Amino acid sequence: MDISTTLNPNDLFSAKGLVVVVTGGGSGIGLAITSCLSQAGAARIYILGRRLSTLQEAASSVGSAVIPVQCDITSHSSVSAAVAKIETEIGYIDVLINNAGVQGPDHKPARDAETIEDLQVILLTDPEGWQPTFAANSSAVVGVSAAFLKLLDAGNIRRGWEGGKIPLGRSRRRDTAGFTEDGTQVNDERSSQIITVGSISGLNRFITAGLAYGASKAAAIHLSKMLTYLLAPWGIRSNVINPGVYPSRMTAGTNDNYTYMEVPAGRKGGYQDICGVLLYLVGKAGAYVNGSMENTDGGRLSVMPATY
């Protein structure tokens, strides 16, 4: 290992020049991700969502690098139209962030049920709500990721990596001839990547938001792990960010301060917290990271019953 290379922390955790797609990038954690990428130098940030006015407001507040694209992630035709627009405009992407999601039916009172009958009533409330929850939080991870594979592969080719599937037993080759320091750098060995925003609810045994939400996020987390294996021959990475308690519509009205048995950090996550783990994954610092699950929860999973 050569330790003579001079390290620049700003370079290690930079999004400079990246073309990124963020689903649900107009509000909540998605908006924080969008803002973070903009401040870190991303060239273009396409934010996808159903509410065009929300996306336009986000683009106006964050900066000119943000491009709103109205899109329903649960609709194949809608996602295909978004992909076609981006392909026409620039022809590749470096990172896809599957962030959009819904809360689904709320089953928190289930843990407080006093009788079997009460528990039955609570668990059978809004059974129809499960399908749209899984459609947005789980199925869309596969659908959106699949739709953008061609542009992710094009992103690899642009960085000098050979495109397509690599035969078993051979490593991926890279041609860096013609690279310059003002473009893609020779020492920048990042490859295209998919980042799925899961949730610690997908690892929790304690019901915090609802059975459907937790189960759908558990599915999203595992789907991302499976994508790591499936996409390895194509040189496309897949990683997960699992936020804990962050300010959002889902946590509105909850405490801002927590005991150490609730969240050891004693607080909700903030802008710097989500930005830190995001920039680690999209920056050069995370170039060797694939199949990883990054929990940013202030230690909450450490003090609650969990599968992690």
Task: Tell me the pLDDT of the chain averaged across its residues.
Answer: 91
Taking the alpha carbons at both ends of the chain, their separation in whole angstroms is: 32
Q: Which tokens is 308 given?
A: 């992690």
Residue-range domain boundaries for the chain: 11-167+189-302
pLDDT of 179 over the 80 cut: no
Q: How far is CA 142 from CA 76, 83, 177, 223, 248, in A?
A: 11, 14, 35, 7, 24
- Whether the CB-CB separation of 278 and 241 falls below 8 Å is answered with yes
Cα–Cα distance between 105 and 193 in angstroms, integer? 31
Q: Look up the CATH number of domain 11-167+189-302.
A: 3.40.50.720
pLDDT of 182 over the 50 cut: no
Kindly report the number of other CB atoms within 10 A of residue 228's CB atom: 18
- Whether the CB-CB separation of 99 and 29 falls below 8 Å is answered with yes
Taking the model in full, what pTM does it have?
A: 0.93
Q: How far is CA 86 from CA 47, 56, 95, 144, in A?
A: 11, 17, 13, 13
Cα–Cα distance between 44 and 68 in angstroms, integer? 11
Query: Which pLDDT tens digit goes with each residue over 222-241?
Result: 999 999 999 999 999 999 99
Cα–Cα distance between 260 and 240 in angstroms, integer? 25
Least confident among 18-22, 81-85, 165-169:
165-169
Query: Which pLDDT tens digit goes with each residue over 275-306?
Result: 999 999 999 999 999 999 999 999 899 998 88
Q: Containing H/E element for 220?
A: helix 211-231
Radius of gyration for the alpha carbons in the chain, expressed in angstroms and rounded: 20
- Whether the CB-CB separation of 282 and 36 falls below 8 Å is answered with no
